[in-house]
Structure 1
C-alpha cells in the first residue's frame, strides 16, 4: 500500500491547474471578508452616515453571503457552469472593490456589499464542491489547503488597508476641536466594530460628525485590493482556456466536462442531458433515499452551524469581552485578540494540511471538538485571567480551524460524493456564522459579557454530542445502504483531471 504522500503528489500533479484555481478563488473570498472591520469608520465618513446606519453594511454582506452559498449549488451540474459562475463572481469582487470609493451613500454601499456577499457565497460552495469532486476520498488534504487561503486573504486585506486609515476624525465640522474625537476612542471604536454583530450595540455614545469636510484616503486601499484580486479571475479564465470551455474552442473536445459525475451518469442512463438521474436532489432519486441519508445531511449541517457560529461570535465579541469587567484590558491590548484568533486559525489550517493525510477525518474532528470544549471550559473557569485569555484564544483558533474542511470531507465520504452535502454544509455554516452572532450579541447585551463565554461553551458541547450522533448514524447508514455497483464505478472517475 502506498503512503499517503506518495499517492497524493501524483494526484495533485495531474490536477494542479484546477486545484490552484480554486485555492486562488478562496484567497479572493478571504480578501473580501476581512476588510470591512478595519475600514468601517472611514466608510462611515465617506458615506457621511451614522454608526447605526453604516453597520447595516455588515448585515447586507452576511445575508447575501448566505443566499449565495445556497445558490452556488445550482451551478454544480456541469464544470462549465461552475467555472463560468466562478469567473463572474471573482470579477464581481474586483469590481466591488473598485466601486466602493464611489459609493457616497450608505444605501449604495450596502448594495455593493450585497453583490460582494452573493459572489462570496457562490465561490464558497463551488470551490468546496469541485475540490471534493476532484479528489473524493483524498479531498481532506486539499480542502484544508483551500481553507488556509481564506485565512491568507483575511490577513492581507487589513494589512493593505492599515496605512490608509484615518488616525483622527475623517469628517471635520465647522466647530471641530482637536479633542472631540481622540485617537484612543477611535481605536476602541474600530476594534468594537471588527465583528459583524457587535456593531449594533453601544455605539450611540460616540458623537461622530456626519456633516463637514471628508478627509480619508481609504479609497486607495480598495483600489489596491481590486488590483490584487485581478489575477484570480485571470486564473479562472486561464483554466477555462486550457480546458477548451471558451467559445473559440466550441468544436474541440472538452477535457474536464466529459468526466463530470453528472455527464457520466447521464451517459450510463442513456439520457440526452444532465438532468436525468445525475443529481442527488432529483425528486425521483430522493424518494429512494433512506432516512439516514437526510439525517446525515442535517447533522453535518448542524455541527457546522454551531462551529462556524462559534468562530464568528468569538471573533466578533472577544474584544468586547476583554475590555469589560472583570478583565478590563486596555483597548490596544484587547484589539490584538481578534488578530491572534484569525492568525491561529490560518496557522491551524496550514498544520492540518499535513495532519489530514496522516490521520482520518473522524479522529481529527474528535480531537478538534474535544479541544474546543476544553479550551472554552478553562476560559469559563479562569475568567479573570488575561494571560489565559490570550493563550486560550490561540489554542481555540488552532483546534477549531480544521472542523469545516474535515467535516465536509467526512460527510461527503459517508454519502458517496453525491454533491448535495457540500451545498447543505456550506449554507449551514454561513447561516450559523450570521445567526449565532446575533444571538450571542443579544445575550451579552441583556446578561453581560460573561454570557459570551458561556454561550460558546454550550454550543461546543452540543456540537460534540451531534458529532457522536453522526458517527452512530453513519454506521447505521453504511450497514443498511450502499450504492449500486454502477455508482461504485463512477467513483473511479477523475473529474477535473488534466
Structure 2
C-alpha cells in the first residue's frame, strides 16, 4: 500500500471535509490561469489599451493579498470557515458569469478584485483547516490540496482556448478591414507583448466597431464548472449540522467547533490574534524568526512561480530565441503541467521523507535549473526542459514549508496566515519587479532575476534550518525530524 492503515483511517474519518477543501482549491486554480490566454480578448471587450488592461492583473493580485489576511478572521469556528468558503466559491462563479458583461476596464478590474479577495480567503482557510485537521500528518494532504490548484490552472486555459479569436477582435466601423490587415495588426500586438516592438504604449486596438470575440462562452462554461463546489461546501455544512435547520442540535464534531462560540483548540479569534501581547508573552526569539524566515522563503519561491508563468512566453518570443508565438505559448502550459505532476508525486514523497529533506532537494534543484537556464539562454530545447524541471522542483515548496513551520510551532495556526500572506505578497511584488526589469534591461534579465531570487530563497531556508536547530536544543523533540514511516512504526508498537 502507498499509505499505511493509520493514514487511511484518518482520511476515512475526515474524507468529506478533506475532499471539500481540495475542491475549493480547484476553484482557486480556475482563477489563477485564465487571465493570461484571454487578455487580448478582454482588451477588445473593454475597448481598452494594453496599458489599461494591466490594471486587471494588479487588482486581482492586490486583493488576493488582502483576502489572504481577511481569511484569518473566519478561522474562529468551523461554521465561520465553511460559510466563508461557500460564499467565496459561489462568488467566483458569479464573477465568471459577470466578466462577459464588463465592457469597461474599470468594471473588469472591480470584478477581478472581488475574485481576488475570494481567492485569498479560500487560500488561507483551506490551508489552515487542513493543517488543523491532520496536524503532524498534514504534509501529505497539503500536497494533494495544492495539486488541485494546478488542476484548476490547467482546466481554465483548456476551456478558453477554443473560444479565443484568431485574428481581429473588433470589426472597424467602416467594415473595410480585410483579414490580412487584421492578422498583421494582431501579429504587431503580440510582438509588442513580447517586447519586440518599441513603444508598447503606442500599440492601439480598435475601440469602435463590433466586437467579434467569443470568449464569453468560456467564462460561462467555467462558471458552470465551478458551481458544484459551493454546493459541496453546503453539503458538508449539512453533514456537520451547521445549517440553521440544525441549530437545536449540537454539531457533529463538538470537540472541534461550536455553532455559537466553540473555538478551535490553539486557534485565535482574529487575524492578528497571534500578535496579542498575551499570546506573545514568554515566546522565544526563534518563534518570531520562524514566521519571518518561513514567510521569506515563500515570498521568493511563490514569486518565482508567478513571474515565470507570467513572463516565460515573453522571454521565449524575444531575441535570441525568437520562438513562434504558438510554440512559446506551450511553455506556460508545460510549466503548470509540471507543477501539477510534481504536487501529485509529492503526495507519496511526503509520506516517505521529511518536509525538511524535500525542501532542501527542491530548493537546490530550483537553483541548479535557474543557473542552467541562465547559461544556456540560447537553447530553445533546454528552455522547454528547464521549464519542466523547474515546475517539478518548485511545486512542493509551499505545502512542505507550511507543514514544517506549523509542525515546529505546534500547530498554533499563526504560521498559516503569515505564510499564505507572504506567498501572495511575493507573487504580486515580484511580477511587477521582474516585468519592470525586463522592460528596461531586456529579456535576458528574466533568467537573471530568477537566479538571484532563488539564491535568496535558499539562503533564507538555510537560516531557517539553523534557527530550527537552536530551537530544538532548547526544546528537544526527536520525533519532529523522524520520517513519517518510522513514526508510524513506533506508534504502532
Change (3 A) 1:60 1:447: same
Distance 2:404 2:60 in 1: 29
Q: Which moved more, 1:208-217 or 1:389-398?
A: 208-217
Contact 1:94 1:225 in 2 (8 A): yes
The Cα of 1:219 is off from its aligned counterpart by 1.5
Aligned-residue offset at 1:482:
7.9
> Which one is further off, 56-65 or 33-42?
33-42
8 A contact 1:187–1:331 mirrored in 2: no
Q: Does 1:291 align with 2:279?
A: no
1:332 aligns with 326
Note closer, same or farther for the CA distance 1:264–1:329 as it changes in structure 2 (3 Å cut).
closer
* Residues 140 and 406 in structure 1, CA contact (< 8 A), matched pair in contact too: yes
| Structure 2 SS opposite 1:244 | coil
Indicate the residue corresponding to 1:433 in structure 2: 427
Residue 471 (structure 2) aligns with: 477
Shift of residue 479 of structure 1? 2.7
Shift of 1:52: 1.5
Per the TM alignment, residue 25 of structure 1 is displaced from its structure 2 partner at its CA by: 0.2
Shift of 1:178: 2.0
Report if the CA contact (8 A) 1:68-1:119 is conserved.
yes
Q: 1:184 to 1:294 in 2, by over 3 A?
A: farther
Tell me, in whole angstroms, the C-alpha distance in 2 between the residues paired with 1:179 and 1:326.
30
**1:401-432 superposed Cα distances (whole Å, 9 cap, x missing partner):** 00000100001001100001000000100110
Which of 348, 352, 357 is 2:351 aligned to? Answer: 357
The residue aligned with 2:248 is 251
State which of 350, 354, 371 in structure 2 corresponds to 1:377. Answer: 371
Mapped to 2, the partners of 1:202 and 1:136 lie a distance apart of: 53
Report 1:131-142 matches (<5 A). Answer: 131-142=130-141
List gaps (5 residues or longer) in structure 2: 478-493
CA distance in 2 between counterparts of 1:28 and 1:408 reads 21
> Which whole-Å CA distance do the structure 2 matches of 1:427 and 1:183 have between them?
42
Cα separation, partners in 2 of 1:478 and 1:110, compared to 1, 3 Å: same
2:326 paired with 1:320: no
Pair 226,275 (structure 1): closer, same or farther in 2 beyond 3 Å: closer
Structure 1: where are the runs of 5+ without partners?
484-498
Residue 6 of structure 1 deviates from its aligned partner by 2.5
Compared CA separation, residues 300 and 3, structure 1 to 2 (3 A): same
Q: Which residue number corresponds to residue 177 of structure 2?
A: 177
Mapped partners of 1:190, 1:161: distance in 2: 18
Residue of structure 1 in register with 2:163 after alignment: 164
What is the aligned partner in structure 1 of residue 226 from structure 2? 229
* Contact persistence 1:290–1:481 (CA under 8 A): no
Q: 1:385 deviation in Å?
A: 1.2
Q: For residues 438 and 344 of structure 1, what CA distance do their matches in structure 2 show? A: 24
1:148 aligns with 2:142: no
> What is the aligned length?
473
- Which of 384, 399, 406 is the aligned partner of 2:400? 406
1:450 matched to 2:450: no
Q: Report if the CA contact (8 A) 2:193-2:314 is conserved.
A: no
CA shift at 1:24, angstroms?
A: 0.4
Could you list the structure 1 runs, at least 4 aligned residues long, displaced by more than 3 angstroms after superposition.
179-194, 201-206, 260-266, 273-276, 278-282
Instruction: Tell me the TM-score normalized by structure 1.
Output: 0.89
Deviations 1:407-461 (CA, angstroms, capped at 9, x unpaired): 0000100110000100000010011011011111111112111111111111111
Residue in structure 2 matched with residue 242 of structure 1 by the alignment: 239
* Counterparts of 1:222 and 1:369, CA distance in 2: 36
Deviation at 1:258, TM superposition (A): 3.1
SS in 2 for 1:329: coil
1:463 and 2:457 aligned: yes
C-alpha change, 1:320 and 1:257, in structure 2 (3 Å) is farther
| Change in 2 beyond 3 A, CA 1:110/1:166 | same
Contact kept in structure 2, 1:187 and 1:332, CA below 8 Å: no
Change (3 A) 1:481 1:191: farther
Query: What is the alpha-carbon distance in structure 2 between the residues aligned to residue 210 and residue 389 of structure 1?
Result: 37
Once the two structures are overlaid, the 10-residue window that deviates more, 105-114 or 176-185, is 176-185
Instruction: Name whichever of 120-129 and 326-335 sits farther off.
Output: 326-335
- Provide Cα deviations, 1:158-191, integer angstroms capped at 9, x if missing partner: 1111122222112111344225654476378569
| Distance in structure 2 (CA, Å) of the matches to 1:243 and 1:192 | 53
Aligned Cα RMSD in Å? 2.6
Alignment match, 1:127: 126
Aligned pair partner of 2:381 in 387, 400, 418: 387
TM-score w.r.t. the length of structure 2 is 0.90
Q: Is this contact kept in 1: 2:48–2:205, CA < 8 A?
A: no
SS in 2 for 1:404: helix
Between 60-69 and 31-40, the greater mean CA deviation after superposition: 31-40
